[in-house]
Amino acid sequence: MTVNGEKMSVYQVEEDGTLSSLDDLFFGDDMQPDFPQMHASS
């Protein structure tokens, strides 16, 4: 988690080591969550 001024950013570390922003889940801002890197793991 990082804090830059008054904007806070939240990230999730994926299984492959990449970072995914979770800002949309917490801070809406009228933006639709978009997770093209997410996929079902078997």
Instruction: Report yes or no on whether pTM surpasses 0.75.
Output: no
Each of the 42 residues of the chain gets a pLDDT tens digit; together they read 666 677 667 888 989 998 888 776 666 555 555 566 666 665
b/e map 9-41, b = 16+ CB within 10 Å: eeeeeeeeeeeeeebeeeeeeeeeeeeeeeeee
